[in-house]
Structure 1
Amino acid sequence: MESNRQMSGDLPTVLVTNDDGIDAPGLQALVRTLVSSDLFQVFVCAPDSEKSAVSHCITWKNPISAKPHDISGAVAFAVSGTPADCTSLGISKALFPSMPDLVISGINMGSNCGYHVVYSGTVAGAREAFLNGVPAVSISYKWAHGISNVNDFALAAEVCLPMISSILAEIKNKTYHHNCFLNIDVPTNVVNHKGYRLTKQATTHLKTGWRQVSSDTQGGKMLSTMTMDMDASSYSESEALNLKDEHRFFEREVTGSPRGEVGCTDLDLFALRDGYISVTPLGALSRADSDSHIYFEQWLPRVPEFVASSTP
């Protein structure tokens, strides 16, 4: 049952989306925390099924469906599109009567640090809001198999609640910084976290590879944060030639560890590893470093020389 304050419409409006799907425990825990605080009017517009690792993919020419979904205390819709679609629809006023004050994407099952933000549908849900001038945050929890449990999502939501409240207060006072959106990562041991740490996006990147599998193993779940390596020993060259006309199946393989800067505590990946809640301001674009600009500034004037030399 909605409170009188919620029904009066004098509360800030929060739109929640994710990439794990509307029934995912991370989103459910976040919505419960927001609703129970009695501080927000909560809208939910999230994918009707898992859309992990779809990045900023959008549905272009085909229509998408939005079906009412029962989430206590919130007005919710399950949408057939991507996280970016859900945010775009949710802030459009086509589905809800007003534009939200803040978009929250998450809580994702698994961290989103470094270059993972490029693949992440969770981060894209927040980025889409930012592209449209709406303040946004993405929230991820560093799930560890054998250690974490679904109750940790509620704890992650609780430790993020002060940040959410503070952002909305700044927005109300017209003092919030609108030139970025925030990517928040919560450590595995959330109960004993060491506090908030302002961080920068690391340049860590997992090695990408594939391995060939039999057709009866297809359809397994693939995660955006996996480490991949090609199993080159699976087939000999002659066997590969014999299979050239056959329908083959490949899947990403988990091996190795991420590469990246060592000892940089102000980077998201390492702050999270050290037990801090990483708070990283992100922009819409990934700009090259200044050294790259200097290099290409010298390279570009020389291009006509190569065009001339290649002319017959």
Structure 2
Amino acid sequence: MENVTDSKSKGEKGTILVTNDDGIQAPGLNALVSVLVSTHRFNVLVCAPQLEMSAVSHSITWRQPLRVEKVEMDGATAFKTSGTPADCASLGVSSVLFPSVPDLVISGINQGSNCGYHTVYSGTTAGAREAFLNGVPAISISYDCYGGLSLEEFEKMLRVEAGSKTKMNYEYEAAAKACLPIISGIIAEIKNNTYPQGCFLNMDLPKDIANHKGYKVTKQGKSTMKIRWKQITSNGQPSEIDHHLLFRRQISITPLGILTHPDKDCKAYFEDWLPNLIQQHQSHNPLLD
């Protein structure tokens, strides 16, 4: 990979671009930005999806414009986009959105871990990978906030107040602070032109991060998610559902309202109207039989 940091001055603050896949409003991203800004050691840039983009992997926006809008974020220059995490990282290091290429791209802090083969599905990991593909050092950071809890149990826990802050804010602030030694060390290596260019880093933080037991270099495991499918029954008989008719090579004509279902009288009208229409056409065109 090409080293894009050779021209960076060692005396300047390190410039960090932050992105994620949970969206611009996510507590993990906001906690990370707040902690980075509070150190006064970094210039902090943000380019993140306007909506949640979890599990979009390395997908990119293709054949349509990418919408970008500036947002207010204390101490940082921030934009939200209509794109994916990979889009955000690509745009953020392109020198189109910001005046220069950042020293480091951080994607996260993600809500939930990204270990093993989970990184294939992860939009968080893809944000860092895209920066790496563009020759910019990068880290993806994920926090195992669930820690064995079900999603419902975790969300209930987050509603518990911890002083003047919610439990969620406290947890992610602690997670961001735990990352600071690694981030600062990487920036120092980049400034010294000694940071390796052959990989990007994926950091996973354990639950109860404030009481973590240190840092360790690991190798990627083979854990993966098992996608489970559940069959559900649509409202209505198969003969009445649009896609069932397509399997029988019939033409489906579906009255729609503004969003989905139309007024009942409208549906009744077309149920009477369509057979008569087809009968009239068949009498004039035998090919419709």
In the other structure, the counterpart of 2:183 is: 164
Deviation at 1:119, TM superposition (A): 0.4
Q: CA deviation at 1:114?
A: 0.8
Q: Deviations over 1:123-164 (max 9, x none)?
A: 000000000100000000001215563111110000100100
For 2:186, give the aligned amino acid: I
Give the corresponding residue for 2:230.
211
Q: What corresponds to 2:134 in structure 1?
A: 132
1:266 alignment partner in structure 2: none
Q: Which runs of 5+ in 1 are unaligned?
A: 1-8, 217-241, 249-312
Q: Following superposition of structure 1 onto structure 2, how do residues 255-274 of structure 1 map, counting pairs within 5 Å?
A: none
Moved more, 193-202 or 139-148: 139-148
SS of structure 1 residue aligned to 2:185: helix
CA separation in 2, counterparts of 1:105 and 1:245?
46
Superposition deviation, residue 245 in structure 1 = 6.9
Give unpaired runs (5+ residues) of structure 2. Answer: 1-10, 147-153, 159-166, 244-289
Percent of aligned positions that are identical? 59
Q: Match of 2:258?
A: none
In the superposition, the TM-score normalised over structure 2's length comes to 0.71
**Partner-residue secondary structure (3-state), 2:55:** coil
SS of aligned partner of 1:29: helix
Q: Residue 171 of structure 2: which of 152, 159, 184 is its match?
A: 152
TM-score (norm: length of structure 1): 0.66
How is 1:82-121 mapped onto 2 (pairs within 5 angstroms)? 82-121=84-123
Aligned counterparts, 1:166-205, within 5 A: 166-205=185-224
The 3 A distance-change label for structure 1 pair 209 and 167 is same
Specify the alignment match of 2:46 in structure 1.
Answer: 44
Matches of 1:215 and 1:30, distance apart in 2: 43
Q: Over aligned residues, Cα RMSD in angstroms?
A: 1.9
The whole-number CA distance in structure 1 between the counterparts of 2:37 and 2:86 is: 23
**Aligned mate of 1:35, from 34, 37, 50:** 37
| Residue type at the aligned position of 1:184 | M
Question: Whole-Å Cα distance in 2 between the matches of residues 126 and 138 of structure 1?
Answer: 5
State the Cα deviation string for residues 77-132 of structure 1 (Å, max 9, x = none). Answer: 00110000000000001100000000000000000001110000000000000001
